[in-house]
Structure 1
């Protein structure tokens, strides 16, 4: 016990023992500065200095741009910018997909193609084969009303399918003799109207020119986009009076009758109407005589 007490006193004496730190002039040995220190003072001072240094470092990292130079420590501004770029990228991808679909529709209109998805009926019957005895086939009231309503609608009637188009008025692009009508079987999704060359071709309704160029097969072609996905197509023109992006009004001259393109047999207007990617018979809505 006495040894422990003696040892404690010895440690206390060493910690509190005073030392004098003197700074002398090297040439004259003149005393410039002197300090009285103890081991305890040096230890406390060094500890406080280290704590202050650590605190200052933390403040610099937390509140200054220096933290951006530390690996794995990203700034809030960079995170915000990365998030905004992600949203913009996603928006651009959606816009690109929409544009590609839109261009595919224009390509279909120019080529006169309709997507025909063939379905293997036998495989469908096998996959969804049901026992008729287990199904209640008696129609309900709502089903009967729906069937009656659908039966009154014309598949290619663009006005009946959209009530917003009831106020849409179509003007005949030209007047003349219809040499060839609309025929789904021969894939002639238009009417050919014979008219004198250079006869003005007019817009059937208000719209925007989305295509106005020369094509090898159908010569000068102009396509207008109207409300609710309705497109009007004018082919084999002799000249075009409007450019892509121009807004036109119904009855405004947009081209002239011609005989251009490899697939023409004389001066006429090849006129088509497309409703949401599906061709419709123009003679159901216009009188060309």
Structure 2
């Protein structure tokens, strides 16, 4: 008998599977099987179980309990944390640049290359009296609309930038003008010692302390990206973090610091990191 016939015979030979009662030997169930049938049925059961397990793992939350799989909520949290980390990195970078600009203001080592020369020179040449502040037709219509809306508003939420007025820190004669060429980004006003120095606008004290070259210095941060700097004071009336109102006394004028040649106020104005000429916005004359 050939080998192929032997294999075929083994696959097709019929067997009887009998299930008996152990006590009475009564036949309960009998099945006629062949090896081929058993193999086919086994393969079908294996395939069905594999498909069922794959479906449960791939399309149900049970896959989260299998090592190597991460939950959807965990992935969402990881994505949110990634976005927040990137945002915080940008905020930290902006703060570092902001503090670096303040440090340069304190040390007085700002270089003209740090800002747009043309815009600064143009700002020094513009006189406030030559600027046309008359509102346009569109501006008048917008103001009228906003006034009507705010008339019945229970909360005061609208603030016009045109009402932002700078208060003279001191009154006196200017002894040294704002000069970009000599890197003197300030005006020096001669005053008597211990003259009250006042805040030019509402703001918060971001620095109040002593430097060797400029003595007692106080820096205020105001709205619209404006920073005011007051140097060579004899004493300070406010500390870092204090809130101040426009016209409130923040220091007393003096001649402290190595660079001072007499009682005066060294006053600077900065807007979004760029120095501007204070005389374009403030009248220091008595």
TM-score (norm 2): 0.67
Name which of structure 1's ranges 247-256 and 172-181 shifts more when overlaid on structure 2: 172-181
| Deviation, structure 1 residue 61 | 1.9
2:220 match: 224
Unaligned 5+ runs, structure 2 = 136-159
Query: Residues 69 and 288 of structure 1: is their aligned pair in 2 closer, same or farther, counting only changes over 3 Å?
Result: farther
Structure 2 Cα separation of the partners of residues 22 and 204 of structure 1: 106
Structure 1 Cα separation of the partners of residues 240 and 275 of structure 2: 22
Structure 1 Cα separation of the partners of residues 100 and 132 of structure 2: 23
Answering whether residue 264 of structure 2 is matched by residue 268 of structure 1, we say: yes
1:239 match: 235
Structure 2 Cα separation of the partners of residues 57 and 158 of structure 1: 81
What's the secondary structure of 1:17's corresponding residue? strand
| Deviation, structure 1 residue 79 | 3.0
| Deviation, structure 1 residue 75 | 3.6
Aligned length, in residue pairs = 246
Structure 2 Cα separation of the partners of residues 270 and 198 of structure 1: 14
Query: Residues 61 and 157 of structure 1: is their aligned pair in 2 closer, same or farther, counting only changes over 3 Å?
Result: farther
1:36 match: 30
Structure 1 Cα separation of the partners of residues 90 and 206 of structure 2: 20
1:18 match: 16
Answering whether residue 70 of structure 2 is matched by residue 87 of structure 1, we say: no
Answering whether residue 39 of structure 2 is matched by residue 50 of structure 1, we say: no
Contact 1:156–1:280 (8 Å) recurs in 2: no
Name which of structure 1's ranges 32-41 and 177-186 shifts more when overlaid on structure 2: 32-41
Structure 1 Cα separation of the partners of residues 113 and 17 of structure 2: 99
Give deviations 1:31-70, integer Å, cap 9, x for gaps.
7997634346744663454245324422442323544645
What's the secondary structure of 2:235's corresponding residue? strand
2:284 match: 287
The Cα RMSD (Å) is 4.0
Unaligned 5+ runs, structure 1 = 1-5, 119-149
Contact 1:200–1:255 (8 Å) recurs in 2: yes
| Deviation, structure 1 residue 244 | 3.1
Name which of structure 1's ranges 185-194 and 232-241 shifts more when overlaid on structure 2: 185-194
